[in-house]
Chain A
Amino acid sequence: MTTPTKVPTGAPTETASTAEGRIGDSPLRPDGVLKVTGEFAYSSDLWMDDMIWGATLRSPHPHARIVSVDIGAALATPGVCAVLTADDIPGRNAVGLEHDDQPVLAERVVRYQGEPVALVAADHPEIARQAVKKIVVDYQVLPAVTDGRQALDPSAPKVHEHGNLVRHFKIRKGDPAPSAPVVVSLDFEVGMQDQAFLGPESGLAVPAEDGGVDLYVATQWLHVDQRQVCQALGLPPERVRLSLAGVGGAFGGREDLSMHVHACLLALHTGKPVKMVYNREESFFGHVHRHPADLRYEFGAEADGTLVYGKVEIIFDGGAYASSTGAVVANGATMGLGPYRIPHVRVDCYGVYTNNPPCGAMRGFGCVQAAFAHEALMDELADRLGLDRVTIRQRNGMREGDENITGQRIDSAAPVAELLQIVRDMELPPSASEQRDLRDLPGGVANSTHGEGVVRGVGYAVTYKNVGFSEGFDDFSTARVRLEITGGEPVATVHTAAAEVGQGLITVEQQICRTELGVERVVVHPKDTQVGSGGSTSASRQTYVTGGAVKAACEAVRQRVLDRAAATIGVAANTLRLDGAKIVAESGDVVAALADVLGGDAVEETVEWRHRPTQRVDPETGQGDAHVQYAFSAHRAVVDVDVELGLVKVVALDTAQDVGKAINPDAVMGQIQGGSAQGMGLALMEEILVRDGKILNPSFTDYLIPTILDMPPMKIEILEYADPHAPYGLRGVGEPPTISSGPAVAAAIRQASGKALRRVPIRPEHITAS
């Protein structure tokens, strides 16, 4: 193991705690005290004595040719240590999650507003920012394509030489020309949402004596970052070491690189540690967003509401670079009709390049956009037939054993009808007329109504979401677990590279070690690339996959300990179990102390763990077992709408979700509450406004996320139908709430206002429009 030349203040340290908490308990998170006292070090808190600051010059144009770059004045600025352009990249000037199509620094052409063009390092961040402004770039502005549908037109400007199509995912199932007695259709539009994590993109790159670099950074997947950084720097992985600095939220926005390579380039060039911290405006340009979507849906049904067919066209605007658009397209297609039984299906889902800001991963990943459309259309169908909106969903809802639209059999619980019934049966909040406090009314203390013009609405939505990486991806995680006696007590140390981003993975890793090894004290080693990949903290997968890896590593450690005890005692290992500091026989008698079995040795095992494989689907029909697991949730939203002013107060946002097994019930609730808030945000207020390829609102003044005044109380019910294929029977938790909450809110506003509302976020002018 290589140690860095120098370690910054704020470098990750191990997190230890001693507690009772095993699987199914809710022990306190081990970093909680550090976080409430301000001592927890985030990536923007890193510090070294001799560090300097990096800043980025970004393109002001959505599409332009770079004629020349003059760095002279910037470089001559006192306090500036380096100014770098694409010419200074030692390796390949190409990175990307799925395709290496994105330059580290633009070369010859810029394809979106905000694309990095040059870098500055200086001894004060303000000097660096001022020097950035002195770089003179001569741009020749090119025609831009800024509409996803237009991008598919052969006459549209080409964003890349190979054209504007990232991926076209087709599903063809059943009758190619189905008909039905009742047909409903709609067009829907979803705006561009931002992850709006609070901790800005930041990190510190430290040049190392071996000519390599140590990068401390907030991310979701250290090893996929390392691969890209190595490629750009032209260095082997052993000389590019990454450590996870404290992460201030992620939600998909940290899957792609931001300042990673930039800081390393500056550090290697200057020989000094380089810190980079985006401000909020730069953050809006510094990471991918949720894809805006243009959706066209048609459902055919029998007179009793039974779905016969679904025809869907979705266009995801991926912006200038591919990022994870390909996988978002697959999700939008394969789960695009919702958790319903539909025998005849035609889906055409496109991801396209435009000169808009790049889009990629965000919580819910392709399912969020589709759910707004399919749930609006289910309501439309119910209304057309005079059926109850919950009943029609229950009638068509998936059950265990059903086939989904890619022909995959759902081989564990699919409690669609039950989840809907639970939220329907929850107590409703008091009616609007019973509320006399201004603060409970739309507009709040703005005092815009005392109840006149306020109409109550109730809406329902249900979803399902894949857990883990799909379509044959080799989706694994690595865990190293060590058991030893320290200070007379057994201590387990768990080392994975799986990113803790706030969700509580480190707590879960400790719980699993306690459960499998019977120890109380568990040390979580800092997350870094000195152990194998943990895979991405995304797709609701870490408790499943890294949890599975930690469990398997613990089992391997336990087996070695018991083998060793069995050999000493002269019994079969399978008659023994490990219980805390004791080895216990079948009789219940303590036959040895762990301390005696281990002596001064540490037993350590490293395990690479995989979930059962998924399949690539047929490219023409989209048929195949694309996904490893599905997670289901339902929401009921209750809103009061001031129909005269278009203001909305969400009164209640209640939900039920099947989590298979709640490994940490408090953390599960936290995921559901937070996820629901983000879905509600998209329904009501969250949109990056892009006009002619330019972002109009890159600030928290103009990009609104829900505050504590906007969030209603939530009732939550958890179901635990074990998935027999998953560790402990668990299901991924993080994403479903973000998918079903927004469509429920939108449905409630439609009911209250009587307006069709085929676009989110829903703005006051949409509600009051005649």
Chain B
Amino acid sequence: MRITTTVNGEPREIDDVWEGESLLYALRERMGLPGSKNACDQGECGSCTVYLDAVPVCACLVAAGQAQGRDIITVEGLAERDTLHPVQQAFVEAGAVQCGFCTPGLIVAAHDLLARSLQPSDQVIREALAGNLCRCTGYEKILDAVRLAADRLADASASGR
């Protein structure tokens, strides 16, 4: 089947999609966007988290056909040209990245959290990221990164930028 969708602001059309394919497969193998990761293909690890019409979803649990006519934003679409989003910048600076396989999903999940909640408590951060498994970091520096990004976004918001 043919699927028409918008990905990271650009209209995309893909052909010959098999009905059983996931959105994750379509992104990774048909659209050249492998940033969303394939750690479990079971909706358990969150590494394939993308926005589907502004709602974070596990792309591995969404059939490619369900993306027809929808708006998708992946980790590749969060930076403004060469400027990292503050969440991305904070993950780099805080050392929240080791192997990095969980990182794209965590970036999208944290991006979503900070769009909803300007200064989340640690407990709120933990709940928001509970669906994202990380095997390398023990999560301490991920918390550091989200706190850092939250502070910077709050500062930017307060100064009206």
Q: State whether B123 touches A439 (Cβ < 8 A).
A: yes
CB closest residue in chain B, given A37:
B79
CB closest residue in chain B, given A673:
B138
Q: State whether B99 touches A249 (Cβ < 8 A).
A: yes
Q: State whether A711 touches B138 (Cβ < 8 A).
A: yes
Name the distance in Å between B9's Cβ and chain A's nearest Cβ. Answer: 15
A539 at the interface (CB under 8 A from B): no
In the complex, A714→B104 CA distance in Å? 25
Our pick among B92, B104, B125 for the contact of A38 (Cβ within 8 Å) is B104
Chain B residues whose CB sits within 8 angstroms of the CB of A26 once the complex forms: 95
Chain B residues whose CB sits within 8 angstroms of the CB of A10 once the complex forms: 34
Count B-side interface residues using an 8 Å CB cutoff: 59
Our pick among B45, B76, B92 for the contact of A700 (Cβ within 8 Å) is B45
In the complex, A251→B101 CA distance in Å? 14
Q: State whether B40 touches A700 (Cβ < 8 A).
A: yes
A321 at the interface (CB under 8 A from B): no
A178 at the interface (CB under 8 A from B): no
Question: Given the known A-B contacts A32-B92, A37-B35, are A248 and B18 also in contact in the complex, defined by CB atoms under 8 Å?
Answer: no
Q: State whether A707 touches B100 (Cβ < 8 A).
A: no
Chain B residues whose CB sits within 8 angstroms of the CB of A9 once the complex forms: 32
Question: Given the known A-B contacts A673-B141, A705-B135, A708-B139, are A280 and B92 also in contact in the complex, defined by CB atoms under 8 Å?
Answer: no
Q: State whether B135 touches A249 (Cβ < 8 A).
A: yes
In the complex, A439→B92 CA distance in Å? 29
Our pick among A198, A670, A700, A711 for the contact of B95 (Cβ within 8 Å) is A670
A39 at the interface (CB under 8 A from B): yes
Question: Given the known A-B contacts A35-B103, A699-B44, A701-B42, are A673 and B140 also in contact in the complex, defined by CB atoms under 8 Å?
Answer: yes
Name the distance in Å between A49's Cβ and chain B's nearest Cβ. Answer: 12
In the complex, A706→B129 CA distance in Å? 12
B143 at the interface (CB under 8 A from A): yes
Question: Given the known A-B contacts A26-B95, A198-B102, are A670 and B76 also in contact in the complex, defined by CB atoms under 8 Å?
Answer: no
In the complex, A41→B91 CA distance in Å? 18
CB closest residue in chain A, given B93:
A28
Question: Given the known A-B contacts A280-B39, A502-B98, are A700 and B138 also in contact in the complex, defined by CB atoms under 8 Å?
Answer: no
In the complex, A451→B89 CA distance in Å? 40
Q: State whether B126 touches A199 (Cβ < 8 A).
A: no
**Which residues of A in the span 666-720 have a Cβ within 8 Å of any Cβ on B?**
666-667, 669-670, 673-678, 699-701, 705-709, 711, 713-714
Main SS of chain B's interface residues? loop
Chain B residues whose CB sits within 8 angstroms of the CB of A41 once the complex forms: 34
Chain B residues whose CB sits within 8 angstroms of the CB of A700 once the complex forms: 40, 42, 44-45, 133
Q: Digit string of A3-45 for contact with B (CB within 8 Å is 1, else 0)?
A: 0000001100000000000000010110111011111111011
Q: State whether A707 touches B130 (Cβ < 8 A).
A: yes
Our pick among A40, A42, A248, A711 for the contact of B140 (Cβ within 8 Å) is A711
B5 at the interface (CB under 8 A from A): no
Name the distance in Å between B19's Cβ and chain A's nearest Cβ. Answer: 10
A468 at the interface (CB under 8 A from B): no
In the complex, A721→B127 CA distance in Å? 39
Q: State whether A38 touches B34 (Cβ < 8 A).
A: yes
Name the distance in Å between B21's Cβ and chain A's nearest Cβ. Answer: 8
Name the distance in Å between A132's Cβ and chain B's nearest Cβ. Answer: 16
B150 at the interface (CB under 8 A from A): no
CB closest residue in chain B, given A249:
B99
In the complex, A570→B18 CA distance in Å? 74
CB closest residue in chain A, given B44:
A700
Question: Given the known A-B contacts A502-B99, A673-B140, are A42 and B92 also in contact in the complex, defined by CB atoms under 8 Å?
Answer: no
Name the distance in Å between A582's Cβ and chain B's nearest Cβ. Answer: 31
Chain A residues whose CB sits within 8 angstroms of the CB of B38 once the complex forms: 44, 200, 277, 279
Residues of B within 8 A of A (CB): 18, 20-21, 28-29, 32-42, 44-45, 47, 74-76, 78-79, 84, 88-89, 91-93, 95, 97-104, 107, 123, 125-127, 129-143
Between-chain CB contacts (< 8 Å), 29 pairs: A9-B32, A26-B95, A29-B92, A33-B84, A35-B100, A36-B88, A36-B89, A37-B84, A37-B88, A38-B36, A126-B18, A198-B47, A198-B99, A198-B133, A248-B99, A249-B135, A279-B38, A502-B101, A673-B137, A677-B138, A701-B42, A707-B133, A707-B139, A708-B130, A708-B132, A709-B130, A711-B139, A711-B140, A714-B140
Can you add 11 more A-B contacts, CB < 8 Å, to A35-B103, A47-B29, A673-B140? A36-B89, A37-B79, A44-B37, A196-B135, A248-B100, A249-B135, A280-B44, A439-B126, A503-B98, A674-B138, A714-B140
> What are the 7 closest A-B residue pairs judged by CB atoms, nearest first?
A38-B35, A502-B99, A35-B100, A248-B101, A673-B138, A700-B44, A677-B138
